[in-house]
Amino acid sequence: MLIKRFGKIVNEYKNIIKISNSENRKKPARDYRKLETMKALITVFLIVSIIVVGVNMVFAQCEPETTAGTPVPDKIITVSTFKQLTIEEETFNADIRIPLISGLENKELENSLNEKYLVEGTKIYEDFKEEIEEIKAQGLEAHLGISSGYIIKTDTEKILVIEVWVVNTAASSSTVTKFDNIDKVKEILITLPDLFKNDDYIDIISENIKEQMLEQVKEDENKHYWVEGVEESDFFGLFEKIAPEQKFYINENYKLVIVFDKYEVAPGYMGVVEFEIPTDIISDLLVNDEYIR
């Protein structure tokens, strides 16, 4: 397109020059200067036209391309460390990192999340300090540690998932996780019951998790779950079904992932365990496919 436009201008210029040259031979000397001035003006016009066309083409190429239906981000939601609480002693260690979410237009949601993170993080720290003071007051020796932090589990155009974890270390360690699933467009929290038409999901998901547990144990002798069909635990009992508000998150592929803390459904060495639920077994139960696909 640019070359054609340049060619058209140049051809027009050549025609004008040809005409002016033929007229030069016919005109007296006094008109010759006028024609030379006209040629100079035409030359300037040609140069300016080429520059303008070129600049317009460059700007056109620099414009961002957008696809119909693709959301254009108009806000940036960030998660950062608001506060870090630490204890560093010979036998006692604490490292609590408290997250801060910002950029939400829904300030009620933003403030409630930040207040929750601050209250929970501060309580973990204060409880640990009290435990240390009691141990010292009784003249006991102990090695204790606690750490807490957060990660962005999922971040898509639609979904933001923040995971906050706590690891408590004594003779052994325990891990507790919490998830906030946030609809970034509507700026609301998504709960597990929100996803479904009724509570039938509890039994359907639970049965699938049992099947996954048995399949994993069959394929990997190093895996173990407290579920019927596998040696049970006298202390913890067997896994039967998920809670209505079971811990979960929506992953980057918009799949539902159910989460169990350490010791909840398996021995401690298994750590925190996750089960991705096939969408086809719950599709009829979903309110819509806005979050789970």
Per domain, the residue ranges of the chain are 2-62, 74-190, 191-293
Three-class SS string for 72-135?
CCCCCCEEEEEEEEEEECCCEEEEEEEEEEECCCCHHHHHHHHHHHHHHHHHHHHHHHHHHHHH
Answer yes or no: are the C-beta atoms of 140 and 159 closer than 8 Å.
no
Q: What is the DSSP letter of 286?
A: B
List, for residues 198-219, the tens digit of each pLDDT value. 999 999 999 999 999 999 999 9
Look up the pTM and report it: 0.74
Task: Count CB-CB contacts under 10 A for residue 256.
Answer: 22
Q: Is the dihedral of CA 198, 202, 208, 212 positive or negative?
A: positive
In this structure, which topology does domain 191-293 adopt according to CATH? Answer: Actin; Chain A, domain 4 (3.90.640)
- Mean pLDDT lowest for which of 26-30, 81-85, 204-208, 252-256? 26-30
Q: What is the DSSP letter of 198?
A: S
List, for residues 26-71, the tens digit of each pLDDT value. 444 444 454 454 444 444 344 434 333 333 332 222 233 322 233 4
Q: What CATH architecture is 74-190?
A: 2-Layer Sandwich (3.30)
Identify the residue whose tokens are 């806005």.
290
Structure tokens at 231: 């040696």
261-272 core/surface letters (b: 16 or more CB in 10 A; e: else) = bbbbbbeeebeb
